[in-house]
Amino acid sequence: MNALAPILAMLCLLSWAGVEAADEGDLRVHGFAAIATVHTDENSFFGDSQDWSTDFFEAGLNASYRVNSRVMVAGQVLARRAGELYDGSPQIDYALANIGLWQGQNYATVLRLGRIKNPLGLYNETRDVPFTRPSIFLPQSVYFDETRNALLATDGATLAGEYRHAAGNIAFSVGVGRPQADENAEWTLLGADLPGRLDSDYDALMSAVSYRSPDEKLQLGLSRYDVSLNYEPAGAFDLPAGTLDLSLNIASARYDAGIWTATAEYLYLPQRRSGTGPFLPFTSANGESYYLQGELRLGPRVTLLGRFERGASDRSDRRGLAQSATTGGLIPPFDFFDRGLTAGLTFQLTQRFMLRSEYSRREGTYILSARENPPAGLQKDWHYFAVQAALRF
């Protein structure tokens, strides 16, 4: 919070002072900032939400520079506070060089080097920019907040290309590099912030392919991210060293019909753990989640949203009974699934300023962080209400 306050204040000041997105020849500078308040009747979601949390801030400042007709470099600093999970200290969100390789009438290819956002699903690449999301919170059982950093970006190289044809455009992206594991990944994947370190000594593999129809109304995509994280124990009283393999597979579909847009995404998430010893009950689980979403535009400024979500940490145990039993009932069955129904309203007041609110009813606590919610206090049925104000320049 302390680190974020000056950045947020600066962005607000710049925006209110009427500073335009800087556009000096080849250098461009843009930014955004958003603040939200969240209320839940039970459980904690993005802060101490049973008491109107204001612990959800997002602010970013980016610049891009076109070196020549083939090369563009770009970077963004992101400050994000999200309850107990992220403290708002500025991070390098991305920093990369885009190098145009082969380009022709019907195709283009580009090599990207640096910290590259993973193009997973429809939203991961720009998931922290409110103006690029349909709602305050992305569907959490597909876009988990708690393991977001491990899936957010890759430090390495990506090759991306696009092929245009009368039957539609095909785009692909393949990448390799290091993901960023953090203590939230430990909480989620190992159940606590343990003395040792969950690290990413292995390269992750990213691949994505998408199709757009010639009229650009239909978009279909498949994306996959394979990550191996390794646990380095801190001493004799820690877990033994082990590895955790995650594979994130997302199928996406979106149809734009003008006043309405329909979106659906499906996530299949197999996890395998080996070597970490007998204290961690689950050695493998196959997570499965999906959502169906409709957006209705009531004119250029107002959009309504409705969303139906389902998520389970293991598709062979959708009610969580078997998983709960292996913890001796310490973790309740409903912590292994999520069912959600969400309604949202967005006002795009001006090009720069947006107000949004949403209400969501949930059954199950799969989308909540153990870090904010000790298992003993979890409540199965809960809802949240949130309001967010966002500006950009």
Partner 1 sequence: MPARFYGTRRLRAVLRSFLPLATAAYVSGSLALPDPKVIVNSSVEVERISLNDARLLLTARLATWPDMSPVTVFVLPDDSPLHDDFARSVLQLFPYQLRRTWDRQLFSGTGRAPTVVRSEAEMLRQVEATPGAIGYVERIPEGVDVRELIVQ
Binding site for partner 1 (CB under 8 A): 21, 23, 28, 30, 32, 60, 62, 64, 66, 69, 72, 74-76, 94-96, 98, 100, 103, 108, 110, 112, 116-117, 119, 125-126, 129, 131-132, 160, 162, 164, 169, 214-216, 256-259, 297, 299-301, 350-351
For the CB of residue 145, give the shortest distance to partner 1 in the complex, in Å.
18
Least gap, CB of 11 to partner 1 (angstroms): 14
Residue 334 has which token pair? Answer: 């409903």
Nearer to partner 1, 60 or 83 (CB): 60
Which is nearer to partner 1, 23 or 193 (by Cβ)? 23
Residue nearer to partner 1 on the CB measure, 75 or 233: 75
Q: How far is the CB of 319 from partner 1 (least distance, A)?
A: 37
Query: Cβ closer to partner 1: 161 or 233?
Result: 161
For residues 103, 104, 109 and 111, what is the CA-based torsion angle, rounded to 10 degrees?
Answer: -10
Q: How far is the CB of 125 from partner 1 (least distance, A)?
A: 4
Task: Give me the least distance between CB of 192 and partner 1, in Å please.
Answer: 33
Return the closest-CA partner of residue 284 out of 332, 230, 247.
247
Q: Report the nearest approach of partner 1 to the CB of residue 82 (Å).
A: 18
Contact 73, 98 (CB under 8 A): yes
Judged by beta carbon, residue 2 or residue 68, the one nearer partner 1 is 68
Q: Smallest distance, Å, CB 117 to partner 1?
A: 5
Nearest distance, CB of residue 256 and partner 1, angstroms? 6
C-beta of 16: minimal distance to partner 1 in Å?
A: 18
Tokens of 389: 């104000």
Between 94 and 225, whose beta carbon lies closer to partner 1? Answer: 94
Closer by beta carbon to partner 1, 115 or else 307: 115
**By C-beta, is 157 or 280 nearer to partner 1?**
157
Nearer to partner 1, 179 or 320 (CB): 179
The three-state DSSP-derived secondary structure of the chain is CCCHHHHHHHHHHHHHCCCCCEEECCEEEEEEEEEEEEEECCCCCCCCHHHCEEEEEEEEEEEEEECCCCEEEEEEEEEEEECCCEECCCEEEEEEEEEEEEECCCEEEEEEEEEEECCCCCCHHHCCCHHHCCCCCCCCCCCCCCCHHHHHEEEEEEEEEEEEECCEEEEEEEEEEECCCCHHHHHHHHCCCCCCEEECCCCEEEEEEEEECCCCCEEEEEEEEEEEEEEECCCCCCCCCEEEEEEEEEEEEEEECCCEEEEEEEEEEEEEEECCCCCCCCCEEEEEEEEEEEEEECCCCEEEEEEEEEEECCCCCCCCHHHHHHCCCCCCHHHHEEEEEEEEEEEECCCCEEEEEEEEEEECCCCCCCCCCCHHHCCCEEEEEEEEEEEEC
